[in-house]
Chain A
């Protein structure tokens, strides 16, 4: 029997980049085939080719042994290929039924929608595969896990046999991810075949039947979970030996640097995003804020750094009330901010690297003498920092926007951490970066801690939180569900908290919890 899908010699060039370089890939019936690679390795490009969104420059696609021409998503759907995109392709103001049926609607005479029949089919699919959804719900009201189930139902509704899941776990809690894995197994048991794209090593080893690793647009190897381990996969991805364990000394917490009291913040839509939270961060410790994205972390960080006004409550920085303070004042007190969206909030993309490196100090001596900026000095400083922080850039005059994501982030880190600091606020500091840059940035954050700064780390990557933090605060729906010491905390426990379930397990350490919460 021929494989369900075979890609032969797929090549795709973008201006200046070879995104896919002669890639071969086969997918067998009932198989979960993991496609592993760093961001920018070419996984998504390959899948977009298979789904008809891009056209390959060379290469052929065979489905069930027959050559297929896939020029558009419509062709892909006809060929039985379906894709769950990394960013969901759902319309929030439509119901589940409307989202699922869109493009292949059930209709009555004259093009009138037959919502009832469609909803009925959705219920059938939902119960057959264990995908719990209510067809009449609006998608905007569903949690992320529910939206993902709608995406999968969309594929099954179109009777897709080959399912492509592009980074499906990026937005899920560990428990939701486990739920997804169950669904994936129930799909393969019924004869569906799955291509699972990810850069998370643990998941690959848990769920895949086969693994193909892609690096810089090329297949660097295929293996199975039995033959591989995390270190081996990581070195295949990166192309060199990687140390996944971060060495760090025990923390020596000092005085309170940041104190947040009963803070309430509204988001852009005027909904309460942070709902009365209190915590402290001490000098020389890393407080990790864990939580699925969108549970108030963004607003919290913006309030602490002066970018958003609080509705209620207070923020004290080094004993001073900075609730109403300007971002500049907060910066001048010794705060570094590594923002969540590096391109929007971290850099001026059109400015050269050198100017970006002094965005927080340009107006002060020695970079400015009165009104005049000292360009030579700024360029000199930039050169030193580029060297110290290992920023790969053709020159300090190159615009920041033309650097790779990892190097952009290093520019921000270099700017923010090259001052005497009291507080470091780092939000998703390694999102989308390659393993090498992650290693480096983690090292820098721990170094800041060891120099006596308080570090507030916000991340939705649980591994990152576990590795770096001394204490972990878990946020869920705008509240801190729990604060617990990182030592002895388990992933499962934090995962449950991230899902809003305050399991009894977390009550084991009342003494330490009491300490961190006494002023709440």
Chain B
């Protein structure tokens, strides 16, 4: 047999070649944008100032000050060089990492241009990005749990919304921790409904998810208008206060950005690491993924497909519930109608963007969170780009990714397919 494998000719990959060219063109285009839209419109001698201390922090770290035009030109040249190298030789397996680098350079160029002749609080921006990424990432982790086990869950939005309301009510009545707990349970219960519909009764999973979303919007809006509006004491839970991680919070620049948050941020980081480790390094994860890839194979090896899927969907729902509680107990301090505003769906986009990997989804969550936050800030700064365009950018990127231009993701093979046992 080994003699045969030596004679196997390699099959040329048509897709890889096309992708290399596409990515090269994308890099060059970004370089072009930096030069055409940013460099050309910047006068020589303009100065960009980035403040590196988030507001409210005691730390005193010097500002970053540089000439706008030289930096923009350098960034444009670097992107162009990378693009040229990509076209001629290609980065091979590192292409995605290089894409991330170019995107980061582009964003830096954009911020430098925006802040030319003014001062921008970079540290504040980054801290806000992390915070905005919390619900998106939790939504994505919830989606990963479900879909890695083969169940599509588009009801994350609805689970978050219901959880947010219950967390607010129970939080107001019995305290924050009870509120958080009831939010998590609410997510789990809605997930149980989704699981029964889609695993036991093999309903179309999109239909089941849509039903839960519509139900959630209806019930929360009704309760909010009917009871919460009139009874203020039911909708005033307060929020979890920030925890400073001793030692780490004193690191200049990074400390105030990453180590002074409330429990939702740290909870997300822990869940992220746990899920990654659980999925790829434990028996639990191996079995969960096997059920999402090839349920019949798992079944023939004695793995209970149905139980595994129930477990994954319910845990995913609880994850979404935790993310939902963030809105009321971690951010706003009260429930407003439809306050999740599509974050659950954006979480699903982050899941796809992140290729069904927890850390990939977190990266995508940061990107979406960044755009979300920037759109809000830029309106204040009075920038010439309509903030709606910025809001759109990550989703345009998601569509491009879904179209397979940047390389098709590895969706679990049995995602969305109900499992039917034979012969019973």
Contact = CB atoms under 8 A, between A and B. Distances in A.
Nearest to B7: A500
Given A51-B300, A73-B301, A500-B9, A112 B2 contact: no
Interface in B152-180: none
A111 B410 CA distance: 26
A77 B301 CA distance: 8
Contacts of A154: 301
A113 B293 contact: no
B283 A105 contact: yes
B17 to A, nearest CB: 10
Contacts of A48: 422-423
Nearest to A500: B7
B11 A270 contact: no
Nearest to B297: A89
Interface in B245-299: 281-284, 286-287, 289-290, 293-294, 296-299
B81 to A, nearest CB: 28
B2 A132 contact: yes
Nearest to A12: B423
A25 B299 CA distance: 26
B189 interface: no
Which of B2, B287, B293, B301 neighbours the largest number of chain A CB atoms within 10 Å of its CB? B301
Given A73-B300, A91-B293, A113-B282, A478 B422 contact: no
A275 B1 CA distance: 24
A246 B7 CA distance: 36
A102 interface: yes
Nearest to A105: B283
A299 to B, nearest CB: 12
Contact of A272 (B5, B14, B283, B301): B14
Interface in A311-347: 311
B423 A103 contact: no
Nearest to B280: A113
Contacts of B11: 271-272, 275, 477-478
Interface string A78-113: 000001010001111110001001111101001111
A103 B1 contact: no
Interface in B381-409: none
A362 interface: no
Contacts of A443: none
A107 B283 contact: yes
Which of B15, B300, B424 neighbours the largest number of chain A CB atoms within 10 Å of its CB? B300
Interface residues of B, number: 36
Which of A89, A132, A179 neighbours the largest number of chain B CB atoms within 10 Å of its CB? A89
Contacts of B303: 102-103
A383 to B, nearest CB: 37
A74 interface: yes
A245 interface: no
Contacts of A112: 281-283
A102 B7 CA distance: 32
A89 B300 contact: yes
B420 to A, nearest CB: 12
Contacts of A270: 13-15, 18
Given A55-B424, A275-B12, A103 B298 contact: yes
A103 B18 contact: no
Given A53-B422, A55-B423, A501 B282 contact: no
Contact of B290 (A55, A102, A110, A143): A102
B4 interface: yes
Interface residues of A, number: 49
B302 interface: yes
Contact of A90 (B14, B289, B294, B422): B294
Contacts of A500: 4, 7-9
A266 interface: yes
A145 B413 CA distance: 22
A176 B4 CA distance: 10
A311 B296 CA distance: 36
Given A112-B281, A145-B1, A102 B15 contact: no
A129 interface: no
Which of A98, A113, A132, A478 neighbours the largest number of chain B CB atoms within 10 Å of its CB? A113
A69 to B, nearest CB: 15
A240 interface: no
B286 A54 contact: no
A180 to B, nearest CB: 10
A85 B300 contact: yes
Contacts of B302: 72-74, 77, 103-104
A153 interface: no
Contacts of A146: 1
A79 to B, nearest CB: 12
Interface string A46-86: 00100101110000000000000000111001000001010
B300 A271 contact: no
A89 to B, nearest CB: 4
Nearest to A132: B1
A167 to B, nearest CB: 16
Which of A94, A103, A110 neighbours the largest number of chain B CB atoms within 10 Å of its CB? A103
A197 interface: no
A55 B18 CA distance: 51
B14 A94 contact: no
A85 B294 CA distance: 14
Nearest to A101: B286
A146 B1 CA distance: 9
A438 interface: no
Given A102-B298, A103-B301, A272 B282 contact: no
A89 B4 contact: no
A492 to B, nearest CB: 15
A395 B282 CA distance: 57
22 contacts: A53-B423, A77-B302, A83-B300, A85-B300, A89-B296, A91-B293, A91-B413, A94-B286, A102-B297, A104-B302, A111-B283, A175-B4, A266-B14, A266-B15, A269-B15, A270-B15, A272-B12, A275-B12, A477-B9, A477-B11, A478-B11, A500-B7
Given A266-B14, A275-B11, 19 more contacts: A48-B422, A72-B302, A73-B299, A83-B300, A90-B297, A91-B290, A91-B297, A91-B413, A94-B290, A102-B286, A102-B303, A103-B298, A103-B302, A112-B283, A113-B281, A272-B14, A477-B8, A499-B4, A500-B4
Interface of A: 48, 51, 53-55, 72-74, 77, 83, 85, 89-94, 98, 101-105, 107, 110-113, 132, 143, 145-146, 154, 175-176, 179, 266, 269-272, 275, 311, 477-479, 499-501
Pick the 8 closest A-B CB pairs, nearest first. Answer: A103-B301, A54-B423, A270-B15, A74-B302, A89-B297, A105-B283, A91-B293, A111-B283
